[in-house]
Amino acid sequence: MSARSRPPSDPATRAAWLTDEIRRHDRLYYDLDRPELSDPEYDALLRELRDLEAAHPGLLRPDSPTQRVRDAAVEGLRQAGHRLPMLSLENTYADGEVREWVDSIAEFLGAQPAELVFSCEPKLDGVALEVIYEHGRLAQAITRGDGRTGDDVTHTVRTIRGLPHGLRAPPPRLEARGEVIMTRASFERVNKAREAAGEELFINPRNTASGTLKLLDPALAARRPLDMLCYGLGEAEGLVSTATGAPPRGHREAMQALAALGLPTALELSVRGGLDAVLAQHAALLARRDELPFEVDGTVIKVDDFRLQERLGLRARSPRWAIAFKFPARQGTTVVLDIHVQVGRTGTLTPVAVVAPVHVSGVTIENITLHNRDEIARLAVKPGDRVLIERAGDVIPHIVAVTQAAPGEPWRMPAHCPVCRTPVREVAGAVAVRCPNPQCPGVLKRRIGHFVARDAMDIEGVGEKLIDQLVDGGLARRLADLYALDEATLAGLERMGELSARNVLEGLAASRTRPLARLLAGLGILHVGGTVAEKLADHFGTLEALRAASREDLQGLAGIGPAVAASVRAFLDDPIERENLDLLLVRGVRPAPAVRRAGGPLAGQTFLFTGTLAKLSRREAAERVKALGGTLLSGVSANLGVLVVGEKPGSKLKQAQELGVRVMEEEEFVRMVEGLGG
């Protein structure tokens, strides 16, 4: 568990905290593809909440995370219901827990554990899906969703080449359930193509499969090859066993029947008549997981007999007759060589462990963030310790625990900034510590890097190495000093030369008239990112008007709360920042207000963006609309003319469709504005 905050201990408050934490991690995993916890850590939170609710029944609520399946619905896709609940599986991580599960179901059934027959198959790391065939024809495909209702993704499922559109000797109605996956080979091909096109690489096969399945454009989905393997049934009207000619008596016969119809089924399917053999099969699968063509994160163990499954029944989230025996998170051990402290652009100090290089999940790890002082205290880690590390969700490396401590006292956060030696300050209400010196070279380097970035002032040629030389050499003590640089000074720096110096000066010259919103975003004001900067620029128009605005004026803007208003006013009132802004103006920085061409080709038209844009940043797209005379709206309404959608569009898409607003894909938008000269 992350140590961002100290969790409460009394049952009611603890249950509320666990509920909020689980929901937060659900959003990170399902909606943002940015997991922070490994599966075992997430399951531990869920298990603790379930145990609390069992011990204190008054804490159980119908909307508790323990009472539902979580999968992200996608706006713009039609919702469809499952005739039978489509649940997730209970997870376990230890042999002993599997034995306890077997003992409990044997006791419930009045049987001996050795008498039970189990089916085992790989737990595929993909997206759960139900495909529905009516009289042999593929009629519909629905994601698991909340277990009762999911997204209708029939349009993208039809692009899965290994999934038949028609079945051999079909039953009247068949609901086959399985996992949509992307093989490792397909994932590598897709990423190579994206790299060649200069596009951002996908993180892992599972998230790529999920995003592809829920695309609105089937043509785009077809360019990302998916597979599906079936592992279960919903309704199966008229399905017969190939062995008996009668309805299947258990899981194995059902999967054989699906295979006979032409449906792909989960590989490695086997039936074992004893728990020891099941555990041995799990161990064998774990040993060869990296040899399989797709990602596998455990073994699914099921009671094979359908009659016994019916007797065992279902829980709120999962069946009692099946369990997922998860593999350990991909882990490795290494030694902490050192702990460095990074200073961010707001002065926040972040400790980073430098470790002996270790290969985990196909990635060589050498640096691991330790987040903050609470995380340091939890781990009690120091240089010389041997540590266990893993990649949460096979993505984010973090230290799980110290496995062998070196002699000496635990490492502690420094009392002084490691760069400028100023005493650090604690941030009220947070676990962060901060260097309060705005002229700290560490802070200044990060601020300049932020200022020159593409989505701020977009100054070509000013990279990390040049910034280090400028700050270390005393040539840049504030942002405004960038605009005092000359060719001779730049050309005399290491690895520069006349051509590089001219490129930097050209970039600086071009940045002098960037839109006001870009300047505000680049100044590094706490709580002011691109969206807030746009609101401030659109409302006040000029830097002079913004500087004259009161805190009340700022807080009166829609979407600008007290914290943001206070932060902006504090920045503008700071003597050092005031002097820097004055000097920027003296040195020729004249931020341009939002440009609209009177009577331009988009005059009178209103636009809004949703989802992730691939070809343009949101700010670049907005600037093109404004430059062509169009107007940007902040939300969907009857006044909206065009909604431009990227990948993973939000709720705005559904609202726009309900209002009959024109929806435009990003590629069409780019062609349109380029054709209009924007």
Residues labelled as active-site residues: 123
Q: 169: buried, middle or exposed (CB in 10 Å: 19+, 13-18, 0-12)? A: exposed
For the sheet with 631-632, list strands across it: 631-632, 606-610, 642-645, 662-665
**DSSP one-letter string for 633-667:** -SS--TT--EEEE-BS--HHHHHHHHHT-EEEEHH
The enclosing H or E element of 537 equals: helix 530-540
Closest CA to 602 of 635, 634, 621, 624: 624
Contact (CB, 8 A) for 382 and 339: yes
Kindly report the backbone phi and psi dihedral angles of residue 210, in degrees, each rounded to the nearest multiple of 5, phi listed first: -60, -50
How would you write 261-287 as a 3-class SS string? CCCCECCCCEEECCHHHHHHHHHHHHH
Both structure tokens of 567: 């932060």
Per-state percent for the chain, helix, strand, coil, to nearest 5? 40, 20, 40
Residue type present at position 103: D
**For residues 304 and 269, is the Cβ–Cβ distance under 8 A?**
no
The Cα-based distances of 262 to 77, 167, 170, 639 in angstroms read: 28, 6, 10, 51
DSSP letter assigned to residue 291: G
Structural contact between residues 150 and 142, judged by C-beta atoms closer than 8 angstroms: yes
- Give the number of other CB atoms < 10 A from CB of residue 658: 9
- The Cβ of residue 153 has, within 10 Å, a number of other Cβ atoms equal to 27
Task: Give the containing element (helix H, strand E) for 373.
Answer: helix 373-379
Residue whose token pair is 């929806």: 663
Q: Are 276 and 181 in contact (CB under 8 A)?
A: no
Region of 428 please: left (phi>0), alpha (psi -120 to 50) or beta. Answer: beta
